[in-house]
Structure 1
Amino acid sequence: MSQQQEIIFVTGNANKLKEVQQILKDAPCTLTNVALDLDELQGSSLEAVATAKLKQAVVQAGSGKAIFVEDTALSFTAFNGLPGAYIKWFVQSMGLAKIVQMLDAFEDKSAQAITTIAYADAEGQTHVFKGITDGTIVASRGPTDFGWDSIFEPYDSHGKTYAEMDKPSKNKISHRGKAFEAFKSFLQN
């Protein structure tokens, strides 16, 4: 795909939109945004959650358009992957301090940050891209205005949480950055 194509990103999260725009700034596409009210499939398969949201988005936006959704999870090793895709609801319901406290009884504070992108091209073919970053859950450090960034410290962040990192540094190592680099590579080829 060498020519510029318009791709719709379905999100109502302004911070996520800014981050994705930065990551895809040199991709061969024009990114537009629409916030659609999509039902959130409940399940532990991140791919199933993302593709279910994508199918709804295609119906609402109309066929023949390139469109994608992105779903992010935070999976604790001590909890066999939970809260996973439910992390957004945990943050809204409990707050960051209580999420950190959930691991107090466990020695293992390791976690994985995971982004799954489900993309439908203009012909309706579905493609899935995933990015994973390993790290640990820590007491909140840095700004708390972007989800759980202040409690996740990637192993390769030189001791900083996502919230303490500048955006370009974060995007190089983050789960979202990795998933969108794979997506961008797909678009370029």
Structure 2
Amino acid sequence: MPKIDIAALDPEKTVVVATGNAHKVTEIEAILAPVMPGVTFYALGELGDFPDPVENGDTFAENAVIKAQAASEQTGLPAVADDSGLVVDALSGEPGIMSARWAGVHGDDARNNAKLMREMEGVADDERTARFHSSVVLLYPDGSCVTGEGDCEGTIGHEPRGEHGFGYDPLFWPADTPGRTMAELEPAEKNAISHRAHALADLARQLA
């Protein structure tokens, strides 16, 4: 049984976030609430157990729309979803939309980072530029949507450093925090410069 009765929610004052991550809901709510007054944000998992859609888009934005569309169709509510990943210039944009499963197993951070180090072996420091990219979509039940885009620029290190974060954070050196990898930042510091924060800010500007 769902924890919250969907039928009791006002679609004009409710947005479902296509995630099971409570921290992500908090981050999204903090940035979007000021431009969406009176709206309550719920994680999709709070409303029931729904299957994950097949993310077969060719871009981050397309995959974000797929996730938002599934959440909206499952609940009848407006939905927010994001898709993000690492884009490395020396690798022609890889791993890109395949970031989470680049080494073959979804969410295997150790294998993904090992592959990144192998692929970047011998690449000069001035050619190791990269960025985390995020696309965030707010989609309404009528199919209309607004998309925000954001980047966190940086470079790829030679070896992992740091215990915070996840994914490629130990190998990513943000331009905004010289001398520290993303995995060496406290959560509040990371959220302030993250690609998703920039994408949400872009979305908020459009909604305002």
Q: TM-score, normalised by structure 2?
A: 0.75
CA gap of 1:147–1:37, structure 2 versus 1, over 3 A, is farther
Equivalent position SS for 1:81: coil
**CA RMSD after TM alignment:** 2.5
Computing the radius of gyration over CA atoms, which structure comes out larger, 1 or 2?
A: 2
Q: How many residues align?
A: 183
Compare relative contact order (CA 8 Å, sep 6+) and give the higher one, 1 or 2. Answer: 1
Q: Which one is further off, 5-14 or 172-181? A: 5-14
CA gap of 1:40–1:122, structure 2 versus 1, over 3 A, is closer
Q: What does residue 6 of structure 1 align with?
A: 14
Q: What does residue 44 of structure 2 align with?
A: 34
**Could you list the runs of 4 or more consecutive aligned residues of structure 1 that deviate by over 6 angstroms after TM superposition?**
none
Question: Is the strand fraction higher in 1 or 2?
Answer: 1
Structure 1: how far apart are the matches of 2:67 and 2:29?
20
Structure 2: how far apart are the matches of 1:165 and 1:5?
35
Structure 2: how far apart are the matches of 1:33 and 1:95?
28
Deviation at 1:156, TM superposition (A): 1.5
Identity of aligned residues (%): 27
Q: TM-score, normalised by structure 1?
A: 0.82
Deviation at 1:162, TM superposition (A): 1.7
Counterpart check, 1:113 vs 2:128: no
Kindly report which structure 2 residues correspond to 1:139-158, keeping only aligned pairs within 5 A, or say none.
Answer: 139-143=159-163, 145-158=165-178
CA gap of 1:60–1:122, structure 2 versus 1, over 3 A, is closer
Structure 2: tracts of 5 or more residues without a match: 1-11
Q: What does residue 86 of structure 1 align with?
A: 98
